[in-house]
Structures are given as C-alpha cells and as structure tokens.
Amino acid sequence: MLTESDLQQIMPRLPQAKRQLYLPFINKVMEIYEIDTPLRASAFLAQIAHESAELRFMEEVWGPTAQQKRYEPPSDLAKRLGNTQKGDGFRYRGRGPLQITGRFNYKKFGGLLGVDLAGNPDLAATPQFAFSTAALFWKVNGLNELADVPDFIAVTKRINGGLNGLADRQKYYEIAKNVLGAEEPGNLAFSAAAFAPLSARAPVNMLSDLPPPALPRGQEFLEMDSASLSATGAASQDETKPAAKKKSGRVAGESAEKLVPVKKADGKPARKSAKKLTKKSAKKSAKKSAKKSAKKSAKKSAKKSGSQPARKAAKSPSRTAAAKSSKKAVKKIGAKATEKPPTKKSRG
C-alpha cells in the first residue's frame, strides 16, 4: 500500500493537506484498476505527477489560450472532443490528474463510472472522481500491461499522444521505482493483497470506445499557462485563485497625464502651463465681476429715473464702464502672471 511518506518522496511539492486528502483515493483506485505492482504503481504515479504538476492542478489553467480557443466549435479539434455547443470548450476543459477533456470523454467516463460527468463536469475535479477517471483511463488503455514490460515510452505516448515532457516523466518514474522498490520486474511487494476487497468494480471492457487523449496537457503546459495567465491577472484553477485587480483612483477614460502634474527635470512645475491657467482664471473672474457691477449700476439708475427708457439708457453706459474695468483687470492679472519670481541672491 502506498504510504504518505512514499507519496511525499515521489511528489515533494504536493502540500501536506492535499497529500493526506488524496492518499486514500489514490490507494483505492489503484486497487480497483489493478495498478498493484511496484512497476505499475511507479509508472502510474510518475505520469499523474507530471500531468498535474504533482497533483497541484486538478483543472486545466484557462485563458483561454490560442490552443484552448480551438476547443470551441466549429473546429476539427472540437469535433474530435465531441464539443458541439458554444461554451463546451470551457465547460469540458481538462480535469483530473490525467486531464480528461471534451464532452465525449466526460460522457464516456461518466458512463463507465455510473455518474453524470457530462451534466456535472465540475465533479471530474473532485478527488473521488478525478483519480477514478485517471485510473480507469489507465486500465482500459492497456497501460498496466505496458508498465509490466516495462515500456515507459509506450505508456507516455498512449497518454500524451507524443513524448512531451518525457525527461520530467522519467525523473518521477525513477524516483517512484526507487521509493517503491521496483528495480526488479518480478518484485510483487506492492500487491492487491494489501487492500480490502471491493464488492463492486466498474466495468472496464470498453477500450474500443475510448479515444486516445487529444491534447498534450502535461506539466510543461500547465506551468507555462499558469505563468502567462497570472501575468495578465488570470488564474490557474485549483492551486490559485484569480488575482484580484487593484482599483486605481482614475476615472474611466481619464488619462494618466491628467492625474500627474508635468514637472521639469529640476522638479519645478512647467511655467507655461501655470501662465495659461492664471490668465484663464483671471479672465473669468474679471468677466464675472464686470457683469455683476453692470447689473447693479443698471438697477440703481433704473430705480432713480423710474421709467423704462431711462432704465435702458442706464444699462449702456454702465456696461461700457464695466467692460473697460474688466479689460484693465485682465491686463493687470496677466502682467502679474508673466512676472518672473525674484531670484534669491546667494550669500557670500
């Protein structure tokens, strides 16, 4: 039986809490699907360690990346995966230690396990079903027999469709063989006798109906996607939560230049913009005060005369006077704004 110490040595980056959570499920599915010799166990653990980055990812990291966009219909890849409806790519993204992907695989593995994975795809990332789909895939694709040979390259090809990450897979394989004492092919120390018998076993005679995995979704992809997506604020699934975007104090559509005052190299505010602002505000205030005083004087003269024509007549001279005074005020303030500040004399 696989112990917690064994698992820790094979997958040192797997946190203790997850190690303790996953271990009973791993042991159970290895019993059910006859992954019951050190060679079979070493190959199985090496492959799931690589594919899931040491069981730290139970869901495919989602961007979507350019490759993941091809999961969506219409595309050849979507057709192969059985994705027929909009959103199927994300809905049936890779889940579990061997990353089952696509509506077809969810339906097929769910049928073999007696659970509606197609209707509840999130179940495929839970320990109960994640390890079941991985071990079931292993069994029905004849990987126990290939592990017995042992032909680890053929095992990798059957899982991956190629040899992506072969060196990393082999590294885990050598560690697992050493930990489980699988150097001799005939060593059966890790046997099914160590497990309590189960009354019901899942049917495993549907090899012809299960397609090989369509996507090479190994650790090199998971970690690459995780790094690129966290850089843009997206998240990896299971291991990390989506990065929360920080609120900037900027109003939507407002440029950064508006918020930051322009400064020269010596740290002094640019003089030109200061002059412009002073002139503008001077003009505004001068106009306002001119209007006010014009209105006042007009009212006064209107009151005195009491007649309407007199009121009209009173308006025009006061307006002229107001305009003149406003112009003078503008000139005065403008002159002050353009004045240079007196320079301090340096002390001897």
Question: Closest by alpha carbon to 136, among 35, 11, 24, 6?
Answer: 35
pLDDT-derived band at 304 (thresholds 50, 70, 90) equals low
CB 3 within 8 A of CB 106: no
Element (H, E) at 301: helix 271-305
Q: How many whole angstroms separate alpha carbon 76 and alpha carbon 65?
A: 17
Average pLDDT over residues 312-327: 50
| Percentage, residues of the chain above pLDDT 70 | 53
Q: pLDDT of 161-217, one tens digit each?
A: 899 999 999 999 999 999 999 865 544 444 333 333 333 333 333 333 444 444 445
Query: What's the pLDDT score for residue 95?
Result: 96
The answer, yes or no, to whether residue 309 has pLDDT greater than 50, is no
Query: What's the pLDDT score for residue 316?
Result: 47
Q: pLDDT of 140-161, one tens digit each?
A: 999 999 999 999 999 999 999 8
pLDDT-derived band at 298 (thresholds 50, 70, 90) equals low
pLDDT-derived band at 339 (thresholds 50, 70, 90) equals low
Q: How many whole angstroms separate alpha carbon 308 and alpha carbon 116?
A: 91
Query: What's the pLDDT score for residue 133?
Result: 97
* Lowest mean pLDDT segment, chosen from 44-48, 68-72, 313-317: 313-317
Higher pLDDT, 7 or 233: 7
Query: What's the pLDDT score for residue 109?
Result: 96
User: Can you say how many angstroms the Cα of residue 301 is from the centroid of all Cα atoms in its chain?
Assistant: 74
* Lowest mean pLDDT segment, chosen from 13-22, 117-126, 271-280: 271-280
- Give the Å distances, CA to CA, from 284 to 224, 250, 278, 279, 291: 59, 28, 10, 9, 11
Query: What's the pLDDT score for residue 182?
Result: 85
Radius of gyration of the chain (CA): 39
Query: What's the pLDDT score for residue 47?
Result: 98
Hey, is 263 helix, strand or coil? strand
The answer, yes or no, to whether residue 276 has pLDDT greater than 60, is no
The answer, yes or no, to whether residue 348 has pLDDT greater than 60, is no
Higher pLDDT, 37 or 268: 37
Query: What's the pLDDT score for residue 148?
Result: 97
